[in-house]
Amino acid sequence: MLKRSLACASLLSLSLSMLAPAAWAQAPSPKPSAAAKAQPRAKNVILFLADAGGVPSINAASLLGYGEPLKLHVQAWPNLGLSETSPVDHFVSDSANGMSSIMTGVKTRNGVISQSPAAERGKRDGQPTKTLLEYAEQHGLRTAVVTSESIADATPAATYAHSNDRKKWGEIFPQAFAPRFGDGVDVLIGAGRKEIGEQMAAAGGGFDQLSKAHSRPIYAQLDQVPASNARPVVVSDHVDVRAATLKALDLLQASPKGYLLVVEWDAHTDDVRKGLQNVVDFDKLVAEIQGRVDLNDTLMLFTADHSFGLQVDDGRRGEPLLEGYDAWKATGKDDHLVRLKNVQINRTHTAEEVAALAIGPGAEAVRGYFPNTHLFKVMMDAFGWTPDPAVKD
């Protein structure tokens, strides 16, 4: 009886195995949904770049600003990924490679601004790699770059310039007035006036000469810009990032074809209170900007170019996160390693991935682990643009 039951079971199993493939083959393929057929496109893209604002800094900023984790505005955005930041030859990135990778989709070497990996810092040029801002100019969009730092420093420079050395500010800044595509960046607001001026003067130039040659004023303060100037360039000693960003947005939103806005705010925590407060203030600005745009046609992306050596390893709710900061500051010491009660700061860049957060059309592509070059693809895809053939050298 047992043998007969086993035999019947075997025959039934064999029959099912023979029938199953045919049944699967005849099953209709699922039809793509309407959403999959028509992915929404972005008319506008806003990239917020917290320089050195890695995951530990984002967490600590929430603790400093609100006494609790997960209280930053961007931490409620629905799309989150982890962006790997290394250059082609090391594990730890600087801002030059980090931002160039995001803006061009091509990793390069530290110190190099939007050039191929064949570049050697200060020694040899690589091929220029086309930036997202250059694509935007080519497509007739309006563009703006705002930064708390020098407008010729690595992060903003990677949007509009190409150089084998991030320190060549006197050569980098004038590239904004000699664009490879379109009429160049429309709104340019940042710091670094003294240093850029000195480097241009050493080469026999200056702000006045550059301005006259291109019939484009270069203002020393944001409040000097007349309402009639829709393409202002401001190179100051200090930048009010909020005021500058809101000014840029007002000008860009008049564009019928759309715009690209890039905003950098320093988040290095060499001075831990200043760095974390910058993140808190930046996050408030992001929330304010979000309230002024239409997320049906505007992709907003928040990320960092690299991480930084910050560690929260103690602390209690209701107590100051940065206990001991004032005493450390009063010593005037410039130690590489800073030990506060609840926080340790190793004052250097680090290699771990950084958060990338997004909302708006195309934001769903920001998820999982990916190289930072993926963010270039996310923004290009959101606009619906196909990149040029890859640079080879």
Q: Got the DSSP string for 338-352?
A: EE-SSEEEEEEEE-S
Residue 327 lies in a domain: no
Find the angle CA(156)-CA(81)-CA(109) to the nearest 5 degrees: 40
Q: How confident is the model at residue 35 (pLDDT cuts 50, 70, 90)?
A: very low
Residue 24 lies in a domain: no
Phi, psi of 247 (to 5 degrees): -60, -45
Residue 334 lies in a domain: no
Instruction: Identify the helix (H) or strand (E) that includes residue 188.
Output: strand 187-191
| Closest C-alpha among 330, 263, 375, 286 to residue 61 | 286
Question: What pLDDT, on a 0 to 100 scale, did the predictor assign at position 369?
Answer: 98
Structure tokens at 176: 């904004």
Residue 220 lies in a domain: yes
- As beta bridge partners, residue 357 has 80, 302
Q: How many domains, the chain? A: 1
Instruction: Identify the helix (H) or strand (E) that includes residue 97.
Output: helix 95-104
Residue 197 lies in a domain: yes
Q: How confident is the model at residue 300 (pLDDT cuts 50, 70, 90)?
A: very high
Question: What pLDDT, on a 0 to 100 scale, did the predictor assign at position 15?
Answer: 38
- As beta bridge partners, residue 185 has none
Residue 258 lies in a domain: yes
Residue 358 lies in a domain: yes
Q: Which residue has the tokens 């904004």?
A: 176
Tell me the pLDDT tens digit for each residue of 69-125: 999 999 999 999 999 999 999 999 999 999 999 999 999 999 999 999 999 999 999
Tell me the pLDDT tens digit for each residue of 243-273: 999 999 999 999 999 999 999 999 999 999 9
Question: What pLDDT, on a 0 to 100 scale, did the predictor assign at position 392?
Answer: 75
Among the residue ranges 20-24, 72-76, 83-87, 199-203, the one predicted with the least confidence is: 20-24
Residue type, 285: L
Report d(CA 57, CA 260) in Å as an integer.
26
**What's the pTM?**
0.90
What's the mean pLDDT in 362-369?
Answer: 98
Assign residue 182 the CATH number of its domain: 3.40.720.10
Residue 130 lies in a domain: yes
Domain range for residue 203? 41-313+342-383
Share of the chain above pLDDT 70, in %: 90
| Closest C-alpha among 393, 386, 324 to residue 41 | 386
